[in-house]
Chain A
Amino acid sequence: MNRPLVLALVLVTGAALPLAAGELHGKVTCKGVRDSGDAVVYVAAIPGKTFPAPKEHARIDQMNLVFSPHVLPILVGTTVDFLNSDAVLHNVFSPDACADKFNLGTWPKGQIKSYQFKKECVSATLLCKVHPEMEAFVVAVPTPYFAVTKPDGSFHIANVPDGAYTVKVWHPKLKATQKAVTVAGSSTADFEIAK
Chain B
Amino acid sequence: MSRSTRGARGMLFLAVGMALSCLVSTRANAVPAFSRKYQTSCQTCHSIFPKLNPFGTAFRLNGYHLPGETEEQVKQKPVSLGADAYARMWPEMVYPSSLPGDAPFALNVKMASLYASSHDDTGKTIVHNDFQFPQEANLFAAGTLGNHFSFFSEVTYGENPDGSGSVELEHARLDLISAFGPEHLFNFRIGKLAPNLYDGFQEMWLMTDNGVDTLFTYNPIGFNGGTGLAEEGGGVSLPARTRAIEMYGVATHRLFYTVGVSSPIGPGSSNGQFNNGSGKDFYARVDYKLGGLGLDGDSTGVTLPPENWRETSFRFGAFGYWGDGGDVDYAITDPEGNPFKMRQGRFSRLGVFGSLYLGDLNLIGVAVHGSDDLSLRDNDTGAEISQTTHTWDAWFAQADYVITPVFQVSARYENLRPADLSVDTQQTLNANFSFLVRANIKLMLEYRRDLHDSQNYQLATVLRAAF
By a beta-carbon cutoff of 8 Å, the part of chain A in contact with chain B is: 31-35, 95, 125, 127, 132-135, 173, 195
Contact = CB atoms under 8 A, between A and B. Distances in A.
Interface stretch (B83-91, B165-173, B386-394): B83-91
A31 B86 CA distance: 24
Contact of A135 (B77, B79, B85, B94): B85
B72 A34 contact: yes
B276 interface: no
Nearest to B75: A34
Given A95-B88, A127-B86, A195 B81 contact: no
- Residue of B80, B81, B85 ringed by the most chain A CB atoms within 10 A: B85
A95 B72 CA distance: 27
Contacts of A133: 79-83
Contact of B71 (A127, A135, A173): A173
Contacts of A35: 72
Interface string B253-268: 0000000000000000
B93 interface: yes
Contacts of A134: 83
B96 interface: yes
A65 B79 CA distance: 13
B70 interface: yes
Contacts of A34: 71-72, 77
Contacts of B88: 95
A134 B84 CA distance: 10
Contacts of B80: 133, 135
A15 B263 CA distance: 87
A32 B84 CA distance: 16
Nearest to B84: A135
22 contacts: A32-B70, A33-B71, A33-B72, A34-B71, A34-B77, A35-B72, A95-B85, A95-B88, A95-B89, A125-B83, A125-B85, A127-B86, A132-B81, A132-B86, A132-B93, A132-B96, A133-B79, A133-B81, A134-B83, A135-B80, A135-B83, A135-B85
A127 B72 CA distance: 24
Given A95-B88, A95-B89, A127 B70 contact: no
Nearest to B98: A133
Contacts of A125: 83, 85
Interface residues of B, number: 17
Contacts of B89: 95
Interface of B: 70-72, 77, 79-86, 88-89, 93-94, 96
Contact of B94 (A31, A32, A132, A173): A132
Nearest to A135: B83
A92 to B, nearest CB: 12
A33 B70 contact: yes
B309 to A, nearest CB: 28
Nearest to A34: B72
Contacts of B77: 34
A11 B246 CA distance: 81
B72 A32 contact: yes
- Residue of A31, A35, A132, A195 ringed by the most chain B CB atoms within 10 A: A132
A125 B82 CA distance: 13
A80 to B, nearest CB: 17
Nearest to B93: A132
Contacts of B71: 32-34, 173
A35 B72 CA distance: 8
A182 B79 CA distance: 43
A84 to B, nearest CB: 18
A38 B58 CA distance: 32
Nearest to B73: A32
Nearest to A31: B70
Nearest to B80: A133
A112 B239 CA distance: 63
Contacts of A32: 70-72
Contacts of A173: 71, 84
B178 to A, nearest CB: 16
Contacts of B96: 132
B183 to A, nearest CB: 13
B361 to A, nearest CB: 36
Given A95-B88, A132-B93, A195-B70, 9 more contacts: A32-B72, A34-B77, A95-B85, A125-B83, A132-B82, A133-B83, A135-B80, A173-B71, A173-B84
Contacts of B85: 95, 125, 127, 135
Contacts of B81: 132-133
B72 A132 contact: no
Nearest to A136: B83
Contacts of A195: 70
Contacts of A135: 80, 83-85
Nearest to B81: A133
B73 to A, nearest CB: 9
Nearest to A35: B72
Sorted nearest first, the 4 A-B pairs with minimum C-beta distance are A135-B83, A32-B70, A133-B80, A132-B82
